[in-house]
């Protein structure tokens, strides 16, 4: 699956945003304005000015709506959710080449709030996945104690864990130990 650079960045951003939710093991990672600034900075979200409590609340709402897209049972449901997000953001597609990046499309309107910026750009990245017939790539980690969101970009759509080095390895080691224990007892 060929994914343009700007779409890949937006997919990484939406995954990271969904994974800041309070139901994750780390708790709500967007707990205050400073954590929102840190998220914006670490994801190179452009054109963000002064942020306030209203921005934090709006981004949390967008995060919940993105989480619903990852939970959607079928492409039609995902498409409806994405359409609502993108429409509410007032998308205004425009070509741009800033901050050392080659030409790419921004979907947010100039001067948009950070929530509308995220809803538009990340929503369009998710739309790209649905249009490509790949909605099943929007997944949650299958580790019982995890549930983090990820986009399965493996060739055969076989990824089951958010990170094979942590969640996947932990489950494989537990299964191995259980087999060894059973063999020793038998």
Q: Please, are residues 33 and 59 in contact by the beta-carbon 8 Å criterion?
A: no
pLDDT at 132 over 90: yes
pLDDT in tens, 57-102: 999 999 999 999 999 999 999 999 999 999 999 888 888 887 777 8
* End-to-end Cα, the chain, rounded Å: 47
Backbone phi, psi, residue 87, to 5°:
-65, -45
The model's confidence at residue 23, banded by pLDDT at 50, 70 and 90, is: confident
Mean pLDDT of 10-23: 94
pTM for this prediction: 0.85
Mean pLDDT of 15-43: 93
């Amino acid at each position: 699956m060929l994914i343009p650079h700007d779409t890949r960045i937006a997919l990484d951003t939406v995954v990271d945003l969904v994974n800041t939710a309070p139901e994750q093991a780390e708790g709500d990672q967007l707990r205050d304005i400073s954590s929102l600034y840190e998220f914006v900075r670490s994801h190179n979200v452009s054109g963000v000015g002064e942020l306030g409590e209203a921005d934090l609340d709006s981004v949390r709402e967008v995060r919940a709506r993105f989480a619903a897209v990852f939970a959607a049972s079928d492409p039609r449901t995902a498409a409806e959710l994405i359409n609502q997000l993108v429409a509410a953001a007032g998308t205004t597609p425009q070509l741009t080449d800033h901050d050392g990046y080659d030409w790419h499309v921004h979907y947010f309107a100039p001067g948009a709030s950070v929530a509308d910026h995220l809803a538009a750009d990340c929503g369009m990245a998710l739309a790209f996945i649905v249009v490509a017939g790949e909605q099943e790539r929007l997944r949650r980690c299958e580790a019982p104690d995890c549930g983090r969101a990820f986009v399965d970009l493996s060739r055969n759509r076989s990824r089951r864990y958010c990170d094979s080095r942590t969640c996947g390895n932990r489950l494989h080691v537990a299964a191995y130990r259980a087999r060894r224990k059973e063999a020793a007892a038998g």
